[in-house]
Structure 1
Amino acid sequence: MKKGNLRFAVCGMVMLLNILFNLVARSQTRPDPEYFFRNPPESAKPGILWMWMGSNVSKAGITKDLEALKKEGFSLAMLASLADINTPWNGTIAGSPTPEIVAWTEPWWKLVEFAMSEAKRLNIKIALYNCPGYTSSGGPWIKPEQSMQEVCWSTRQIEGNGRLSIRLDKPVVDPHANMRFPSYDPVTGKLENLLIEARKSYYKDISVLAMPATGTVAKDSIIDLSAKMDTDGNLDWHAPPGKWMIYRFGHTTTGAVIQPAQPRATGLECDKMDPEAVSFQTDHMLSEIKKHVGKYVGNTLTGIFYDSYEIDPVTWTPKMREVFSKYTGYDIVPYLATFAGRTIGSREDSIKFRYDFERVTEALFRDVYFKTVAAKLKAAGLDYFSEAYGGPWRLDEITPQVSDPMCEFWTDDGKFTSYMTESVIAAIRKTGKNVIMAEAFTGQPVSSKWDEYPAWLKPVGDKAFCEGINRFVIHRFTHQPWDSKYLPGASMGQWGTHFDRTQTWWKAAKATVTYWQRCSALLQMGIPVKSDSDLVVLEEPEGLKIDYAHRKAENTDIFFIANTAHTSGYAYCRFQVSGRQPELWNPVTGEIRDLPNFEDNGTHTQIALNFEDAESYFVVFRKKYERSGGLAGSNFKVLKPLQALTGNWQVRFDPAWGGPKEPIVFEGLQDWTKSADKKIKYFSGTAVYNISFDVPESEISHELYVDLGEVKHIAHVYLNKKDLGVVWTAPWGVTIPKALIKTKGNVLTVEVTNVWANRLIGDEQDPDDCEWSPNGYFYNSGKFLKAFPDWFLNNQPRPSKGRYGFTTWNYFSKDAPLIPSGLIGPVRLMNGG
């Protein structure tokens, strides 16, 4: 054999052996929960709903947004283009510096292409909303004949017994859109159901029917006169004796438009039951994507998102007669008069028809809308994200067609509030999908007005984890197009949790995002297992509220256990696990340790677990435990007070946001809002606390702990210039490494950040330098910017010198209650044993 051939053969053999080795190794490799807990995969990193508000978009802002998301620990951005303001309907701010940016037009696409390039650089995946607004599918390109349709009719009562030559009027409908929500009309300047010209001009006949004028109508008494009417509505008929009602049935557009989009991007909803209309809408969307950002499809642009379906029921589609007959076996035409309030056949017959009509509608949404979209997105190499609930369909029939179905939960009054969450999760699990995504922390304006913070959000998210959700998509992250001196900046209006990079606590909240990553990583392991006997709370102190999620990954049982109440105490928990060592995995700190004190009776394991305010952690069973019973020892450290850190605290506020120019000395810790100094009372942002203290030499060898007491609302702690981490939830403290403590001259530094609300309320004490429009919504939670002020557009100093904040939605009056803020304490040095 020649040397070249021999070398080739040897190389081939080595390659084959490597392939075989990798296949064997891969087959023997099992997912390691601890590895994923310490190194959460991309699927465990949360996403955000990235709201681009109207024409207020900039390249600089896009870069800052995406870089901030990457640094914070997010991996997915779902890009939506809404109106300037969401009230929740569309609102307009006059005088935009970039009015040419309109969703789904060339200037907008150039910015989307730039966003894709930046997302690719940062390895952030993008999902694009399928059209302007967030509900539902359509745009200015949808013609009336492609839009959602409704049955309409005109009537003519006649006295029979002879030949009639009469003219039947076309049905006339209210020219305003027949839809659930109003929209901003740029012509009238009003918030109302839009005047849709096609409601006056577009009409198609279905049938002309004559029936007895009153009472229940026997089917055999209905006379179809469709063939006797010409195109101008002239009817020639020899009418039998009696009083007859003649109905001219037809259909027109409902006029329903997508919401809440910019006025110039607003257009009709496509007909979800017409395959041609759905195909046109989807093809139009995909062709625009291919034209402008095609090179990013499948790598950076990974999916299309269909958000909430918020449209009233529809009653027609052009092929309804034939498909209704196909699905039910009988003709729909004799029953058209039920839409006009008539009873056909009998009451039972009419009820059955309406039931059949709903089933046909469900089938059309399943077989036309969802099936068409799913097939076209799959062919394009794009994932199909959808909040597939709330519409005229069955969840169990729709969910299997969606590659990435999502559910949704809200933060009403600081409590988890679901929207069909349980049924959606059940439908998703039936498909065998493991990752259950959710639009997360959607906030009502009464609960989220620049006063939310991570510890407030925590029990809401923990409850969602217990429900079965294992990946969050935060509602919302608003694009910030302007200079950083304009804070808090753009808002989605009054809606959603303000989880924006302009939040006061944004940087510190990376610790919260890491917590969600760790939780999601473990809750994506194995399969969900939950029954009444998996975990039983034998004794629960008053006020505690324990919930859990259980996952099983081969021989490992993973329990996420959460106290979703703002109370502390012990709970005695019995796990249906035996023969394995319980471990506590803390997703806040990343700590993993054995729980030494437990009882194992051969069937169950019982453990006393301590919970602080809204505390949660995992109890994991993975290692065999050979002995019966349990071990002595404490599962939780008992901290003993060593000394209170009293005396003078030096506190430095940021003067750029209204704080005092020089450091302030607090002789005792206090709530900022109680200060007589308005620079402190109304301050929002980060204040830096410093205090020096000594430690008895006898305590140096012990593990020490700093208990911060009450913190409003998040803290970053340093000791002797060494970073001890962020404290954002109970227990409000940090452990001090033994090597760091000194007997003399220790310096504790605590950076404390509160919420935006106080600064914005403080601004209201001074004359206004902006004009505002009324809310127009029943929550009455503020007002939105009417027009961009000249000083903003011209980059000039503000006329009102006492104002610091700038945002597009104003929740507050000058008398609004302030939010307790600062390091309130007491701060104590504790002995951890």
Structure 2
Amino acid sequence: MTRVVASAVLLALAAPAPGQTPSSAAPPRGRGAVPQDERRRIHSDAPPRGRAAVPQDERRRIHSDAPPRGRAAVPQDERRRIHSDAAEDTLERGFKDPPDSAKPRVWWHWLNGNVTKEGITADLEWMKRVGIAGMQMFDGSLGVPLFVDKRLVWMTPDWKEAFRHAAAEADRLGLEMSMAASGGWSETAGPWVKPEEGMKKVVWSETRVEGPRKFNGALPHPPAVNGRFQDMPIPPDFEFPMPTDLPGAKPMPPSPPPSPDPTYYADTVVLAYRIPDDEVRIADAQPRVTASGGDIDAAALVDGSFGRTVALPVPADGKPAWIQCEFAQPFRAQAFSIAMAAGQGFFGATPPNGHLQASQDGTSWVTLVTLPGPEPLFGGFPVRTYSFPPTAARWYRVVFQAPAPNPLAALLSLPPFRQFDIAEMELLSAPRVNMWEDKASFATLTEPSTAVTPAVPADEAIAKSNVVDLTAKMGKDGTLDWDVPAGRWVVLRMGYSLTGEKNHPATPEATGYEVDKLSRKHVDAYFQNYVGQVSDALGPFFGKSFRYFLMDSWEAGQENWTQDMIAEFRQRRGYDPTPYLPVLTGRIVESADVSDRFLWDFRRTIADLLADNHYGAATEYLHQRGVGLYAEAMGTGLPTTGDALLNKGRVDVPMGEFWVPLPGQGDQPEHPPDVREAASAAHIYGKTLAATESFTSMPMVPGWGQPPSYLKPIADRYFALGVNRIVFHTSDHQPFVDDAHKPGITLGPFGQHYTRNITWAEQAVVWNTYLARCSFLLQQGLFVGDLAYYYGEGAPISAPFWKKLKPEPPAGYNYDYVNTDVLLNRLSVKDGRLVLPDGMSYRALVLPEDVDRLTLPVLRKIRDLVAAGAVVVAPKPQRPPSLTGFPASDDEARAIANDVWGAVDGKSITRHEYGKGKVVWGPSVEEVLAGEKVAPDVQHNRPQIDTSLVWIHRRRGDADIYFVGNQKDRAEDVLASFRVDGKEAELWHPDTGAIEPSAYKIEDGRTTVPLHLDPGGSVFVVFRRAAAAPSRTRPRPTSTVVATVAGPWSVTFPPNWGAPPQIRLDGLTSWTASADPGVKYFSGTATYTKEVPAAPAWFRPGTKVMLDLGKVKEIAEVSINGQPLGILWKAPFQTDVTSALKPGANRLEVKVTNLWPNRMIGDQQASATKTYTFTDYKPYTKDSPLLESGLLGPVTVSTVTLR
């Protein structure tokens, strides 16, 4: 945050941007029990279909332009002035006193039935008191013991009574209440989901026959096992062990042992395809198999069962483990398949780390395939097939490297990694689709285009004409009656069974199958049941105080089938997938290229179904019931096969997420793109709000350890990426209302534990108000961005987190991501700008260098945009990635590319004009924009080599609003230049609500503003009024230290927290330096008092007297002579004391609050005779480092004059 301080240049922050005011709330379609004005306030997006919602204040402006009947019309320019003044007043009022729509929300976890009405009321009253405007409730369990006398079980009468009490209290307090879309936190699941309604996967069995002959026999039944792949059982859900030795924990009521989960299977098709006559299976070649761990069951590695495993021990000497195959004659292989059955992944088994190697002599080895090992985030799929050039060798071996230690192993009570559990491992003589398991959506790849299948000879591929549909020839008992033609054939019986995914971490009573996300029928049935239960529990508060459901990030695994998949595919892709279904088992049909194209279409169909039938269907149903939907649709790290922008565009409030970085590290790479993606979704789909799950933390960044001053620069980074509604992770429900249960119940290692039990609970109002002021201004008008980055058509797809954009967005310009849906259906050209129906516009459309394969609809639309005057920065497309319309589609695509791109190659020829527009490739985006006379939106000097500012620009009507934040822990004086002409600059300070005129200089169509930014400080620079002159200077403050407040200090501590009632400090030092354990380990608020003499000379006219506390750990409340002077929560810890100070003696009182860790550490010392803290999760040990605490100074008094 920024302030005017002694010897500093006035801060200023500006932003060029006109636009319209935000929609304050277009209510969901359908009935709603909420009064109209209340609905407007709470539903801040989702315009009615077919037209953009007009913001409420804009509607008022339009209506006010019509004069009342019987009165003369006011001249138009006068009306404009009046209305402009009213808009300015509204903007100022909303900034100084932010409305509820701008205030943060919190996630509110009810954990394992530890819920009381008293705790509910206390939680919600605290939220209201400190500026939190709503809570999003989750009912879950994460190893939390039972502490309350009576556990409230999900959806029982007692639970519903408490739930309704929460809604009634929310209504009384004016809080917005929401609830997760299932028990636990992911995703849409419950015990009412029937097996046939659960998530599904493709399964199959194979029968080899040779013709000509008559075949009449039973085809093996495909696996009906619940799991990720074939008969591989579903891995156990991650669990956090429940502590058994916590004081106050009660034994859990006994529950009956769970019965086996029901399974489900249905047939889809029966196909037969002819295979080459020379195809050999490794089992028939009978190699000699040896291993580093001794004897091994080689037959189990090729038996086709993923439920039967082979254990390969990790060698004790640290050397790699290995399995070797020796053949009597050279064996020709061109693919390798391996399946792991267990591992150290957060979500089950992961790919191994190692190599497949070949040798002609058993001594010298050549690597054919590098096995990548576990992947970030979700670990990667444990079943993979790799293609490689045909190789003939007598010896092959697989070398396994032990995985790196799992940082969560101890937390999850995972045993040490001692062996590789291998389900299947096979060399394949016939070609396979490279990494087909991932590309068939049994898993996700960040970039399937990087796993292209190598071309194979036509006689080694399966001809489409040699794929025979035998579905009608199989009886209900699985018996096939078929006259087999000549040749070798594989009969493929295909169907689908359940993935077995359930919601987590839910209580047992709320746990059930995840619903089939690709089926609108099943999703509708799910919400009819679930919403019915919720509305029954809430009664009149449903749609009133209760306004939204919420979907957290996706943790439901993969799904690649639904009952209507073939019909859906045919309707969406325009051709019958049936002859290509063997590709889903890894076989190559027609050619490697055709097979990869089919899998592209298959994944794209799944992504479209997920958007339409899960996120879209959920939103539409909830609108019918008068409520809306927040959703992290679909979350970070490509967790499933989806189109992230399309998903986010289907919901009311798109959400991203960001976590507190690990100490000494930057943001995790997936979080900034995810937040920009959520903001982009809001911008391109005409929504006001972009929300974030905010400040989530892991064990390495334990809760209770970060004050708001630490979190602020993190928030500023994400504000600059487009978030304008903060949702804290998390405010766990506290069932107890006494001091004996602090800091309280937690979501284990996750989240901020931002509850009424934190040490600074009451002081949190200043932090929440800061966030609300920022959010309010960032909700105004429209985002200003010059570039629309098209992120491609394939699936899964999201804003890329695994690589940098190329070409990179240049410094000084901002951008949104756009997807195919928006490109095709919402984007047009007006006056050379790319425009959206809601008023957003961009100067250029950019296709990154790897987006060079475009479908015909996209190519045609780009052609039309360029013809209408658009500037497109893109490589010349190669060919469509889809099989739709193939091969004619390739010819048309080539013709369009030649027309629009001409001979552009990005080297010798870099531009081509087409119609009114042009395409460019080769020059940087900065050069392209300069050529279009588009100057940078923001520029600034760099006083230090590592000066780091973040910024964002919104435009509301004629007002340009810029947010600027300093990311360094030092003050910065910068000159910032904004793309604004003819307007004066103002500085709006979100920490104080103060608004002040700024110095500025207008020159060459830009406005330069001097900014003084505190350490980690931020400010809004607002341009809303015509400049009276081309420049303005402001008086500069001159500061003179007139006194240093030295000791002794009297420090008093509250009772019952282990500290003495009072101590005397001759000098200011950290509490942790005290020899008294009660002081050393104290957590809470202590009060420093001191008499401060003030000289009459301090009180000259035009002079302010400033008190600077120096260093404070962590929050201070200052009063002088009993007059409160505010809460100081970040550097510089300064306050204006002019009004409270008087000549002569003055009583200075400083209340300083630190954090919980010190007391938690003290409670674990061997010398501790009493414990003062209570929690179910203890991230700190007796040896954890103490946090510096208290008033550390030096404390000084300065006089400040303006010159």
Q: When the two structures are superposed, what TM-score results if normalisation uses the length of structure 2? A: 0.61
SS of 2:662 mapped into structure 1: helix
2:87 to 17, 30, 35: 30
Q: Deviations 1:711-744 (Å, cap 9, x if unpaired)? A: 1111111111110000001221111024x22333
User: After the TM superposition, which residues 657-696 of structure 1 pair with which residues of structure 2 at under 5 Å, given as runs?
Assistant: 657-660=1057-1060, 662-696=1061-1095
Distance 1:244 1:58, change over 3 A: same
Q: Deviations 1:217-244 (Å, cap 9, x if unpaired)? A: 2222223333333222233333334433
Distance 1:638 1:494, change over 3 A: farther
User: After the TM superposition, which residues 380-399 of structure 1 pair with which residues of structure 2 at under 5 Å, given as runs?
Assistant: 380-390=625-635, 391-399=640-648
Q: Which amino acid aligns with 2:641?
A: P
- Aligned position for 1:828: 1196
Q: Which amino acid aligns with 1:509?
A: A
1:583 to 986, 990, 1015: 986
Report the Cα offset of residue 665 of structure 1: 0.4
2:942 to 535, 539, 554: 539
2:199 to 148, 156, 167: 148
Q: Deviations 1:552-576 (Å, cap 9, x if unpaired)? A: 2223222221102212121111122
Distance 1:822 1:21, change over 3 A: farther
Q: Deviations 1:800-832 (Å, cap 9, x if unpaired)? A: 842111111111221111111111111111112
Report the Cα offset of residue 543 of structure 1: 4.1
Q: Deviations 1:681-733 (Å, cap 9, x if unpaired)? A: 11111111111121222123342111111111111111111100000012211
2: CA distance between counterparts of 1:236 and 1:17? 83
SS of 2:581 mapped into structure 1: helix
User: After the TM superposition, which residues 473-484 of structure 1 pair with which residues of structure 2 at under 5 Å, given as runs?
Assistant: 473-484=727-738
Report the Cα offset of residue 166 of structure 1: 2.8
Task: Indicate conservation of the 8 Å contact 2:1053/2:1085, yes or no.
Answer: yes
Q: Which amino acid aligns with 2:186?
A: T
Report the Cα offset of residue 297 of structure 1: 2.3
Q: Which amino acid aligns with 2:643?
A: R
- Aligned position for 1:731: 1132
- Aligned position for 1:808: 1176
**Higher helix proportion, which one?**
1
Q: Which amino acid aligns with 1:467?
A: L
2: CA distance between counterparts of 1:339 and 1:590? 59
- Aligned position for 1:245: 490
- Aligned position for 2:957: 554
2: CA distance between counterparts of 1:176 and 1:315? 12
- Aligned position for 1:784: none
Distance 1:202 1:51, change over 3 A: same
- Aligned position for 1:127: 178
2: CA distance between counterparts of 1:50 and 1:763? 27
2: CA distance between counterparts of 1:632 and 1:824? 34
2:1147 to 743, 747, 763: 747
Distance 1:48 1:628, change over 3 A: same
Q: Deviations 1:245-276 (Å, cap 9, x if unpaired)? A: 22221111110011211122111000011122
- Aligned position for 2:1049: 649
2: CA distance between counterparts of 1:737 and 1:413? 41
SS of 1:245 mapped into structure 2: strand
Report the Cα offset of residue 639 of structure 1: 2.5
- Please, which runs of 5 or more residues in structure 2 have no aligned partner? 1-65, 245-256, 280-429, 431-460, 787-811, 813-935
Distance 1:37 1:172, change over 3 A: same
2:1028 to 619, 623, 626: 626
Corresponding position: 1:719 with 2:776: no
Task: Indicate conservation of the 8 Å contact 1:700/1:741, yes or no.
Answer: no
1:515 to 770, 777, 783: 770
User: After the TM superposition, which residues 45-194 of structure 1 pair with which residues of structure 2 at under 5 Å, given as runs?
Assistant: 45-83=103-141, 85=142, 91-93=143-145, 97-99=149-151, 101-172=152-223, 174-175=225-226, 182-184=237-239
Corresponding position: 1:757 with 2:1157: yes
1: CA distance between counterparts of 2:1109 and 2:509? 53
Distance 1:820 1:543, change over 3 A: farther
Corresponding position: 1:40 with 2:95: no
1: CA distance between counterparts of 2:147 and 2:163? 23
Report the Cα offset of residue 647 of structure 1: 1.6
SS of 1:608 mapped into structure 2: strand
2: CA distance between counterparts of 1:348 and 1:196? 46
Corresponding position: 1:707 with 2:1108: yes
- Aligned position for 2:525: 280
Stretch of structure 1 that moved more, 491-500 or 800-809 = 800-809
Report the Cα offset of residue 94 of structure 1: 5.4
2: CA distance between counterparts of 1:17 and 1:584? 36
2: CA distance between counterparts of 1:454 and 1:697? 37
- Please, which runs of 5 or more residues in structure 1 have no aligned partner? 1-15, 86-90, 768-799
Pairs aligned (count): 768
- Aligned position for 2:892: none
SS of 2:616 mapped into structure 1: helix
Report the Cα offset of residue 47 of structure 1: 1.0
Task: Indicate conservation of the 8 Å contact 2:226/2:234, yes or no.
Answer: no
Stretch of structure 1 that moved more, 481-490 or 433-442 = 433-442
Percent identical pairs in the alignment equals 33
- Aligned position for 1:603: 1005
2: CA distance between counterparts of 1:603 and 1:208? 70
1: CA distance between counterparts of 2:1185 and 2:213? 78
Report the Cα offset of residue 369 of structure 1: 1.9
Report the Cα offset of residue 19 of structure 1: 8.8
1: CA distance between counterparts of 2:1030 and 2:214? 99
1: CA distance between counterparts of 2:947 and 2:235? 41
Report the Cα offset of residue 122 of structure 1: 0.6
1:615 to 1007, 1014, 1017: 1017
Q: Which amino acid aligns with 1:669?
A: L
Q: Deviations 1:375-429 (Å, cap 9, x if unpaired)? A: 2111111112212234433244334432222222222137554251222211220
Distance 1:469 1:21, change over 3 A: farther
Task: Indicate conservation of the 8 Å contact 2:1159/2:1173, yes or no.
Answer: yes
Distance 1:20 1:180, change over 3 A: farther
Corresponding position: 1:698 with 2:1134: no
Task: Indicate conservation of the 8 Å contact 2:226/2:498, yes or no.
Answer: no
| Two-structure CA RMSD over aligned residues (Å) | 2.7
Q: Which amino acid aligns with 2:735?
A: P
Corresponding position: 1:567 with 2:970: yes
2: CA distance between counterparts of 1:536 and 1:374? 41
Distance 1:154 1:21, change over 3 A: farther
- Aligned position for 1:447: 701
- Aligned position for 1:204: 266
Report the Cα offset of residue 172 of structure 1: 2.7
1:302 to 540, 547, 560: 547
Report the Cα offset of residue 293 of structure 1: 1.4
Q: Which amino acid aligns with 2:1040?
A: K
Task: Indicate conservation of the 8 Å contact 1:186/1:263, yes or no.
Answer: no
Report the Cα offset of residue 132 of structure 1: 0.6
Q: Which amino acid aligns with 2:1001?
A: E
1: CA distance between counterparts of 2:180 and 2:631? 10
Report the Cα offset of residue 523 of structure 1: 1.9
Q: Which amino acid aligns with 2:218?
A: R
Stretch of structure 1 that moved more, 483-492 or 429-438 = 429-438
Report the Cα offset of residue 173 of structure 1: 5.4
Report the Cα offset of residue 546 of structure 1: 1.2
Report the Cα offset of residue 342 of structure 1: 1.6
Stretch of structure 1 that moved more, 448-457 or 418-427 = 418-427
Q: Which amino acid aligns with 2:268?
A: I
Distance 1:746 1:186, change over 3 A: closer
Task: Indicate conservation of the 8 Å contact 2:615/2:633, yes or no.
Answer: no
Task: Indicate conservation of the 8 Å contact 1:229/1:235, yes or no.
Answer: yes
Stretch of structure 1 that moved more, 38-47 or 725-734 = 38-47
Q: When the two structures are superposed, what TM-score results if normalisation uses the length of structure 1? A: 0.87
Report the Cα offset of residue 121 of structure 1: 0.7
User: After the TM superposition, which residues 311-350 of structure 1 pair with which residues of structure 2 at under 5 Å, given as runs?
Assistant: 311-350=556-595
Task: Indicate conservation of the 8 Å contact 1:179/1:311, yes or no.
Answer: no
